[in-house]
Structure 1
Amino acid sequence: MREPREPATTDQYERPQQAWTCGLAANGAPCPAGPTSRGSCPAAAACHPVRDGDRWHCNRSTLRGGPCDEGPSPDGECCTLYRCTPVRSLRVRRGRFVIGIAVAALGALVMALSGSWRNEFLTPGPLSAHHAQLLKGKNATQRCAQCHAAGLAAVGTWWERSFGGAELSPTQSLLCLECHRDAIGQELALSAHGVQLASLEELTTARRERVGAGEGAGGGDAPTRWGERRRNAGEPIACAACHREHQGRMHDLAAVSNVACQACHRQEFESFADGHPEFGGWPHLRRTRIAFDHAAHQLKHFPEEKRDFACAACHQADPTGQRQLTASFADSCAACHDKSIAASFADGVMFLSLPTLDVEPLADHDIRLTPWPAAATGDFEGAPSLFAKLLMQADADGAAALGVLGADFDLYDVDIEDATQLRAAAQAAESLRAIVNELADQGEPAIAARLKTLLGREPTAEELASLSGRLSTQGMKALRDEWFGATGSATPNNAAAGDENESPSPGSWKFDQNSLALRYRPSGHADPWLRAWLDVLAEGASGPHAKLIEPLLQQAMKPTAPGQCGSCHSLDRIDGRYVIQWEPLDVAREPRGFTRFNHAPHIVQPRTGDCASCHQFSVGADFMASYAERDPHRFKSGFAPMSKAACAACHTAAAAGDSCTQCHRYHK
């Protein structure tokens, strides 16, 4: 049998899940019925009397105290009624209090956010020292607005944006670029690594190809996957994804965690030593611009000259110590190579010459030719210079002759029975005569006009100054008179030199009466006249006249050609255009890559102070043969690739550091 219910307790949470409690609880025990859910008293009777004959008996259960003393009324009504004034429960009262406080707090917050000082109130922390200058002067009152468009927006706009409204403009990243526009191009600033998506795909493909060719020795398939992405590279990446502000004045904004880098790249690894792929062919992503065989010079050429082979003799650190620069030709190469270059210039470089014509076969085939100098008649023999053939392509007679005879023609090969070849020989002669006349009458403008036809652009004044080499109109008039009939008495031997008011040239002109040739005598290595004409040949070989000009360029860049330029300076074909690499690699002028290396902290270390500790010759590599290939990215390096193990020996988290950004830059 159940025990009677305990009397009312002192627990203040009577009916804790109800909104109302019995008002009798304040004076003792609450009534058993309690108030309704609407807060009204039910006025319930304590029992329901039972009639026994002519009497009524109380039937209140013993659980509620048993029959009452009064008993029911004569008409059978219970004489005990529970009546009270219901009151709110403690739970409801406290809830109302909390809601009131929340409403008051919200109101205070709205008032605070609507005030002029709200940005100062909301700041999450101090700016870094680099960005603290944004708050100077009147900007201090709009501190958030300097970088956040929401800084000037109304509270209602914030509310809308919280529930998916349109993004406020300009975005934080665009506001960043307002200040950093000079350092970061805006067009691709928010693209992955700041480059075209197609370029990233090409780099990934090139990486796979290098690995497939055996350049990326490493564990498993890690190198193949290196560079592939888990994130859609086409999505814009906000500046704040990597650069975290409000971390204090001394916070390094450029510090990016390895986790941030690996959030995009598919391959994850524990550390540089544990999981980072092998370097592959790094740093040899292309052949060197200057064809210099280090191994051959160390083992053969330097011993022959009785000289010590030392890296520091040709490579010196820049003022910052970060980069190693290649010494100039005068400081590193001239002692050995000046002699051979001077020897190749002994007879000068032919600019114009009169080939010998056999006028009888021309007359037999009724081919008209303006009288040709008697000293240049006889058998067909000789060929115009490379530069003359280039200029011939710019007029109708010259282009027609080259179309028949070809760029490599020599009149010695003309078939005197072939009228087509004879007519082409006569056209070549007339084209040469026209070039001489134009140079005599106009000088530099004549060269400019012909090059505009060939290149599709006007040569600059600086280019023309180098291309003319101070060849004066007076000298050319004297030369014309000597060749095609004297109208004056000047002697071409000396008159070909430049006028006094023309810019000086280190070279000189010489008229050879025996061979009827005008030759330029370069001053030596890096002569501006020869370099300018070779650059014109390279540009012409990349344009619409490439079929005829390209063979001329190949002849001029032979290692045995005057100047021997092609023996050291590589001729590259990049994006369909020929480029002569006159200068060695200068990292400061190169486009930024993904990888960076600072020599300064390495060359002071005992184990890496010697260049050969990292740069080791690739024994047996056919290095120089790759320069016959015009694609600079198809080559065999003269040095062995760097190994990860050599770097990982020092670059650990506890030693030299192994963060991604220590060796890799994001903004390419």
Structure 2
Amino acid sequence: MSRELQSFDFRSSGYERPNRRWVCGRAADGRPCRAGPDHRGRCRAEAECHPRLEGGRYLCTRPESAGGSCAEGPLPDGGCTHRPLPCTPVPSLRARRGRAARWAAVFAVGLLALLLGSPAGLRWLSPGELSRSHASIGDCGTCHASAAAGPVGWLHAALVGTPEADDPASDSRRCLTCHRSGSEPFAAHGLPSARLHPEAPSQAAGHPPVIITGGGLVQVGLRLAGRLSGAPGGEGDAALPCATCHREHRGLAGDLEAMGDLQCQTCHAVKFAGFNAGHPEFEGYPPVRPTGILFDHVSHMERHFPKSDAAHRPAQCADCHRLDAGGGQMLTVGFETGCAACHAGDVRGTAAAGSTGVSLFVVPGLDLETLRARGAAIGGWPALSDRPLAPFMALLLAGDPALRDALATFRRLDPLDLRQAGQSEIDAVVAVAWATKALLFDLVAEGPGSLRPRLETALGVPIDGTRLRALAGGLPLATVRSAARTWFPDLAQEVARHRAGLPVPMPEAETATPAAEQTAAPAPDAAGSTDLLGNDGGGDAGGDGGLLSGGAPAGGDLLSGSEPATNDLLAGSGSEGGDLSGGDQADGGGLLSGGESGEGDLLAAPGGSTEPQETTAAAPATPPVTAELPQPDPERWSALGGWYGDYFALSYRPGDHADPFLKQWIEVAGASRGAPAAAAGGEDLLSLLTAKDAPGRCAECHRLVRQADGSLVPDWRARRPEPGRQDFTRFRHQPHFDRLSGRARSEGCLTCHRLGRGVEASAAPAAAGGPDFRPIERATCAECHSAAAAGESCLLCHNYHVGPVGHPPPETATADPGKTAGD
């Protein structure tokens, strides 16, 4: 029977020294010496005791563990009578174990060096093959931070640890080189803890609040999961490395996305067996997401569609909605396909009761009698204009900071009745009048580019060329010049005198001309010429008539005669030439009938004879032909959209859906609410363009979103899926369409999307972007989703990573600065 090399019982042994490498050689027979060996293994036994002198006599001091006081007692000189023979110390148990461990370590290191030195040495250290998606990665350092240190560094990291190894997310950061996983990739679900708390606000990224069952226990669960995965503890979010859920080195067939339900319930406090056994009821699914389109399914499906023509109304949901390219979400087909059959006329204004256009430039009506009596020097001004100052004009005039006070005063007045106005108010009217003329003059002289500095000053933002082209809407030069000539015949001279500091008095009152003549019809150019299609009210002195109607005494037009100078082509006139069909005066007949004293016409007798020729039958007399071009209504003439001048205004009529002119001006007007021009036209302009009966009817279907600075930004498009972005819940329509059966086959989309009857159609879409459908119930999904049928795994319906997820494009330079094109 073997005995222990050393007993550590303090009552039976004096060797309570577990840190000593050597013990007394006599320990085996139960008589070890007190001193024991030294640190080199040498025996230090000299005597069993050291006698003590007491009262002139030496006493034995041998301890009880060594047999107590001896009978012989000490020698007279105080020496011990029992001097043991030296022994051979032996290694202690600790020393023997340490020696064995060192030899084992040497053997392991030697074996490892032998394996690593072989051609396939690295295979012995590999934990397994990579998955198929990562199989092309050949360098361990691509994914592992400690790989660059070599085999010695790997052992050191595995046995001792490194700063990188102490950080569980060090390797995970290398995953982000190829993968994108939310704004906080190492937090739970890629979101900060505030988004996961039940009382978190719902403003982040436009998503509804994330509610995880379990309340405050969620944070405890997250910290516990972090500790189990090696994440450091402490305050704040626990870092969850990618390897917590994505396990590599499982071979080519390994699924990196495979997760069990138990992994999800590690953090979620409420545990349940399955979707049909304990899963919480849905709370407002699908969540209401704001969309730019205001559309009420209830009113359209129950009121409008049944009353509309069968050829125009949609017969099924698929007529207005289609699957996206991935088969996940349903998208709208667009205005031209789904809405134009009923609403194209609303956009163009063909059924509008009021004006179908918006006025960019107007000549505001003024109390000219009072202004003339008060000595206001504004030059000529149309007497019959009674238009108010348009919001477009107010915004453009507000681009001059020096004019804003006068403009604000003008907008408070009734400019058609200035009898009670003070001198400061008269001065404000004069300033606005000259600003109006200057705006029109600059528009004619410089084109739409003159609007850029005014808009940039009013809005406080730069206006690029693309936006300026849309804001101008293709304003034609001929229309602007014609309007300027008609409204202000002496515009150039008046503006030049005013800018030179010279007075420009108002002319004396004249007899009012008919209102029809105050429109933006083309005006005569130089003295004596009219336009191609008509005269300018009788022609100028000494000029020529128009092509189709007679002008002044100088010449006739093509179809009707004028005064004695020249006849027209078809009717005789004047005294020098006849018309095409018959003569009139003394000089010449027409082309078809003889004149009086001149040459005959083409069919008359030669030599100018007026004697009738012999004919078999008398030809009937040809009546004279006269014609005038009609005067179309400018507003009706522009039914297809565009600019037109009508009654002291340049107006624009939208031609089709998504008219760029209206879109840009609504955006500009919305932005002006937060700019200095808001008090000088921006508010009224936005109200004008977004009114219920405004041209284009834009605000009937498109939402305005208020920004932090008070501005309003229109949201023109229906909701579109954001590429690479995931929500908590995943749903794909295509697989469900393929598996419809029974009730779902007969009801189709209405199986899940039930109309929200009882909700006010006018209030529901405008208030919350919906909901005009009732929330989907869990029982509806549970009809198919069970363990034996469609499945009920957590990851079947839920995403772990939330937010922008995907593969960012590689950082590839477009050119190598070290090379030239010829290299």
Structure 2: distance between partners of 1:274 and 1:300:
42
Contact 2:765–2:772 (CA under 8 A) maintained in structure 1: no
1:241 to 236, 244, 264: 244
Contact 1:469–1:507 (CA under 8 A) maintained in structure 2: no
SS in 1 for 2:713: strand
The aligned counterpart of 2:322 is 316
The aligned counterpart of 2:700 is 567
Contact 1:119–1:151 (CA under 8 A) maintained in structure 2: no
Structure 1: distance between partners of 2:98 and 2:769:
79
The aligned counterpart of 2:126 is 123
One-letter code of the match for 1:667? Answer: V
* 2:717 is equivalent to residue 583 of structure 1: yes
* 2:474 is equivalent to residue 470 of structure 1: yes
SS in 1 for 2:202: helix
Consecutive unaligned residues in structure 1, runs of 5 or more: 1-10, 24-30, 43-81, 136-142, 496-504
The aligned counterpart of 2:649 is 517
* 2:473 is equivalent to residue 339 of structure 1: no
Deviates more, 1:144-153 or 1:256-265: 256-265
1:352 to 356, 361, 381: 361
CA deviations on 1:181-238 (whole Å, 9 max, x unpaired) are xx457x6444444456666669833399xxxx9x99xxxx976949964436644443
1:447 to 451, 475, 479: 451
Contact 1:188–1:194 (CA under 8 A) maintained in structure 2: yes
CA spacing shift, 1:33–1:462, aligned 2, 3 Å: closer
Shift of 1:315: 0.8
CA spacing shift, 1:358–1:109, aligned 2, 3 Å: same
Count of paired positions? 573
Give TM-score scaled by structure 1 length. 0.73
CA spacing shift, 1:518–1:164, aligned 2, 3 Å: same
CA spacing shift, 1:608–1:586, aligned 2, 3 Å: farther
Shift of 1:326: 0.6
Q: Which has the higher helix share?
A: 1
Give TM-score scaled by structure 2 length. 0.60
Shift of 1:93: 7.5
Contact 1:262–1:268 (CA under 8 A) maintained in structure 2: yes
* 2:393 is equivalent to residue 393 of structure 1: no
Contact 1:192–1:233 (CA under 8 A) maintained in structure 2: no
Deviates more, 1:562-571 or 1:424-433: 424-433
Structure 2: distance between partners of 1:565 and 1:585:
17
RMSD (CA atoms):
4.5
CA spacing shift, 1:92–1:291, aligned 2, 3 Å: closer
Structure 1: distance between partners of 2:155 and 2:393:
74
Structure 2: distance between partners of 1:313 and 1:662:
29
* 2:651 is equivalent to residue 655 of structure 1: no
* 2:305 is equivalent to residue 167 of structure 1: no
CA deviations on 1:354-383 (whole Å, 9 max, x unpaired) are 1210134345556x4422423446xxx422
CA deviations on 1:264-315 (whole Å, 9 max, x unpaired) are 4555544344444433223242344222111111121111114365211111
Q: Equivalences for 1:10-21 in 2 at 5 Å?
A: 13-15=2-4
SS in 2 for 1:611: helix
* 2:758 is equivalent to residue 620 of structure 1: yes
CA spacing shift, 1:301–1:506, aligned 2, 3 Å: closer
Structure 2: distance between partners of 1:285 and 1:596:
15
SS in 2 for 1:206: coil
The aligned counterpart of 1:62 is none
SS in 2 for 1:616: coil
* 2:694 is equivalent to residue 556 of structure 1: no
SS in 2 for 1:350: strand
Structure 1: distance between partners of 2:403 and 2:773:
47
CA spacing shift, 1:120–1:507, aligned 2, 3 Å: farther
CA deviations on 1:135-158 (whole Å, 9 max, x unpaired) are 1xxxxxxx3211111001253585
Q: Equivalences for 1:251-650 in 2 at 5 Å?
A: 251-307=254-310, 309-342=315-348, 343=350, 344=352, 347-362=356-371, 368-376=376-384, 381-396=386-401, 398-404=403-409, 411=415, 416-419=420-423, 421-485=425-489, 493=521, 507-512=641-646, 515-548=647-680, 549-575=682-708, 576-588=710-722, 592-604=726-738, 605-606=740-741, 607-608=743-744, 610-626=748-764, 634=768, 637-650=771-784
Structure 1: distance between partners of 2:287 and 2:4:
82
1:204 to 195, 200, 208: 200
SS in 2 for 1:427: helix
Shift of 1:643: 1.7
The aligned counterpart of 1:3 is none
Shift of 1:162: 5.0
One-letter code of the match for 2:664? Answer: A
Shift of 1:600: 0.8
Structure 2: distance between partners of 1:156 and 1:571:
61
One-letter code of the match for 1:461? Answer: G
CA spacing shift, 1:191–1:20, aligned 2, 3 Å: closer
1:145 to 135, 141, 144: 141
CA spacing shift, 1:315–1:398, aligned 2, 3 Å: farther
CA spacing shift, 1:239–1:463, aligned 2, 3 Å: same
Structure 1: distance between partners of 2:417 and 2:246:
71
CA deviations on 1:38-75 (whole Å, 9 max, x unpaired) are 799x9xxxxxxxxxxxxxxxxxxxxxxxxxxxxxxxxx
CA spacing shift, 1:404–1:161, aligned 2, 3 Å: farther
SS in 1 for 2:294: coil
SS in 2 for 1:465: helix
Larger radius of gyration: 2
One-letter code of the match for 1:294? Answer: H
SS in 2 for 1:655: coil
SS in 2 for 1:442: helix
Structure 2: distance between partners of 1:289 and 1:206:
19
Structure 1: distance between partners of 2:290 and 2:418:
42
Contact 1:382–1:410 (CA under 8 A) maintained in structure 2: no
Shift of 1:528: 1.7
Contact 2:132–2:252 (CA under 8 A) maintained in structure 1: yes
Shift of 1:460: 2.7
Structure 2: distance between partners of 1:123 and 1:509:
76
Deviates more, 1:234-243 or 1:165-174: 165-174
Identity across matched positions, percent: 34
CA spacing shift, 1:271–1:460, aligned 2, 3 Å: farther
1:104 to 97, 104, 107: 107
SS in 1 for 2:201: helix
CA deviations on 1:621-667 (whole Å, 9 max, x unpaired) are 124325665xxxx4651111122222233333443233333333313
One-letter code of the match for 2:642? Answer: S
Structure 2: distance between partners of 1:370 and 1:590:
62
Contact 1:570–1:627 (CA under 8 A) maintained in structure 2: no
SS in 2 for 1:579: strand
One-letter code of the match for 1:538? Answer: G
Contact 2:193–2:237 (CA under 8 A) maintained in structure 1: yes
One-letter code of the match for 1:429? Answer: A
The aligned counterpart of 2:498 is none
